[in-house]
Amino acid sequence: MNELDKIAMKKAIEESKINLMNHFKNGGPFGAVIVKDGEIISKAHNTVLENKDATAHAEINAIREASKKLNTHDLTRLYIIYKCRTLSYVFICNYLVEYKRSLLCKY
């Protein structure tokens, strides 16, 4: 694990704490960060309740943000770091994106 991985893991944990701080009004305590070429390009947290959207999990929100920022659906050279195990359909989305790698952080 390199220094960027550690920084990105801290950011994923910070994202997960956003909902903790507001007593889970917007969703569960989950966060995700996507990295490309040594730079964090997106970070997100769970907004299922806030958006009334069952697909608005942290990983999916991070994918959406990265795609918008990079103006492409092709995220194959990136990697994702997420806090907490992912649901099966979110795992499938992560698989379809074909990340270079993914890291799960626990605290």
- Catalytic residues, which ones? 59
Nearest to residue 12, comparing CAs of 77, 52, 61, 55?
61
CB distance 4 to 35 below 8 Å: yes
